[in-house]
């Protein structure tokens, strides 16, 4: 298969379609570009055909990840056409129910980076496991092993909360929300702290809510005593890396937490808030980002002055039926844009794993074939 020789849109009308590309398993295997990825993005860019990158990855500031991707993929990317798993967390800081002025516990692979990302979104009081370990070293009996990991990034905990109740120590820490930014590294410590917070009274670390202690209460006794909500940025059980078999993602961490929660609560389901693909909040957020980006490049590009047709179709190119394909298939765009799912064979899904759990509109070998198929269809 080869690229069309002539630019497809030489007549100057603005394309009414665009692309959303998943990253891991479509464009990259971790740091390694997948064959055809660079030339496909470059072709779209040279022909002013809008696209965004829409990934369940995370753990870095948007601008840092985008700079990293630009150099790896050899195309100029900006935060204008980039949405990662926790990018929509920015909206959690705003509004009357906003968390901007509350105290949040954050975690992920690099907890200090998660704190910096949270600050960049407007969170003002951010606590990590490093801070908690420093002031409560006995909260996890193996903290000595963690010194090397957390020692350098511990911040003082927010000012002690005078709860008016006798605390075993005066630095009562109240957490108002738990935010998982990307795949935690230290599942044991994170699960210990998160469950401590979820059984606490009002999110005060070290307390135990009588409600949760009393099993005679109706089923909704759990997480009903003002415990902090737990917010995840990604539910991928697997993701595609340079290893030849898919690796566990944040969805596996959630499954481990679910297992511990069920044991602690006698079988209760963990109430959570989920972002990332396939969830509608993420697709709605991504469509807004795509529309703004499209308006910007079409007004700057050769199409300037031309009436810009509304965005009719987005080709969602992904490797994971559970996130990329399901999300596009199920998304009902508020503006009526059709999201067409295209599954590639370079990532999580493999034919030997049986039929994809969510059927794509089109199944192709790789991202290059996906772009060619879409352009032919639009041409
Ligand atoms: O942690 C990244 C992984 O969960 C999937 O990323 O780019 O395939 O959505 P992506
Ligand atoms: Mg992927």
Question: Residue 21: in which H helix or E strand, if any?
Answer: strand 17-21
Nearest ligand to the C-alpha atom of residue 182: 1
pTM above 0.95, yes or no: no
Radius of gyration for the alpha carbons in the chain, expressed in angstroms and rounded: 23
Q: Tell me how far the alpha carbon of residue 58 lies from the centroid of ligand 1, in angstroms.
A: 8
Residue 170 vs residues 38, 131, 166, 206, 225: alpha-carbon distances, Å: 56, 16, 8, 11, 22
Question: What is the tens place of the pLDDT at every residue in 192-209?
Answer: 999 999 988 889 999 888
Q: Ligand 1: residues whose CB is within 6 Å?
A: 22-25, 55-57, 183, 234, 236, 239, 249, 320
pLDDT at 167 over 70: no
Query: Which two structure tokens, joined as six digits, stand for 274?
Result: 């989920």
pLDDT at 338 over 50: yes
- Mapped onto helix, strand or coil, the DSSP state of residue 189 is helix
Question: What is the tens place of the pLDDT at every residue in 110-150?
Answer: 999 999 999 999 999 999 999 999 889 889 887 666 777 78
Q: Kindly report the protein residue whose alpha carbon is nearest to atom 2 of ligand 1.
A: 57
- How many angstroms from the chain centroid is the CA of residue 377? 31
Q: Kindly report the protein residue whose alpha carbon is nearest to atom 8 of ligand 1.
A: 24
């Amino acid at each position: 298969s080869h690229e069309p020789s002539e630019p497809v849109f030489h007549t100057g009308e603005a394309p009414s379609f665009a692309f959303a590309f998943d990253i891991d398993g479509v464009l990259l295997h971790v740091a390694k570009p997948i064959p055809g990825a660079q030339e496909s993005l470059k072709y779209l860019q040279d022909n002013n055909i809008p696209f965004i990158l829409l990934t369940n990855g995370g753990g870095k500031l948007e601008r840092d990840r985008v700079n990293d991707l630009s150099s790896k993929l050899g195309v100029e990317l900006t935060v204008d056409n980039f949405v990662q798993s926790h990018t929509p967390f920015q909206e959690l800081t705003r509004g009357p129910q906003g968390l901007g002025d509350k105290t949040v516990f954050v975690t992920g692979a690099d907890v200090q980076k998660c704190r910096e990302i949270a600050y960049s979104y407007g969170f003002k009081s951010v606590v990590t496991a490093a801070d908690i370990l420093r002031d409560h070293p006995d909260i996890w009996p193996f903290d000595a092993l963690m010194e090397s990991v957390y020692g350098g990034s511990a911040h003082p905990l927010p000012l002690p909360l005078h709860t008016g109740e006798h605390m075993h120590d005066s630095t009562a820490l109240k957490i108002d929300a738990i935010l998982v930014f990307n795949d935690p590294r230290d599942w044991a410590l994170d699960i210990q702290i998160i469950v401590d917070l979820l059984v606490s009274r009002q999110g005060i670390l070290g307390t135990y809510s009588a409600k949760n202690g009393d099993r005679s209460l109706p089923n909704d006794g759990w997480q009903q005593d003002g415990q902090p909500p737990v917010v995840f940025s990604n539910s991928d059980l697997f993701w595609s890396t340079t290893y030849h078999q898919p690796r566990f993602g944040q969805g596996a961490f959630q499954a481990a937490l679910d297992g511990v929660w069920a044991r602690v609560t006698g079988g209760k389901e963990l109430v959570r808030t989920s972002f990332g693909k396939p969830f509608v909040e993420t697709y709605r957020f991504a469509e807004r980002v795509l529309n703004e980006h499209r308006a910007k490049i079409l007004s700057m590009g050769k199409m300037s002055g031309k009436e810009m047709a509304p965005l009719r179709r987005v080709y969602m190119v992904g490797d994971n039926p559970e996130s990329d394909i399901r999300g596009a298939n199920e998304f009902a765009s508020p503006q009526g844009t059709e999201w067409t799912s295209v599954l590639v064979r370079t990532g999580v899904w493999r034919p030997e794993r049986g039929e994809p759990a969510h059927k794509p509109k089109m199944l192709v070998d790789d991202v290059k074939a996906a772009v060619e198929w879409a352009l032919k269809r639009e041409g």
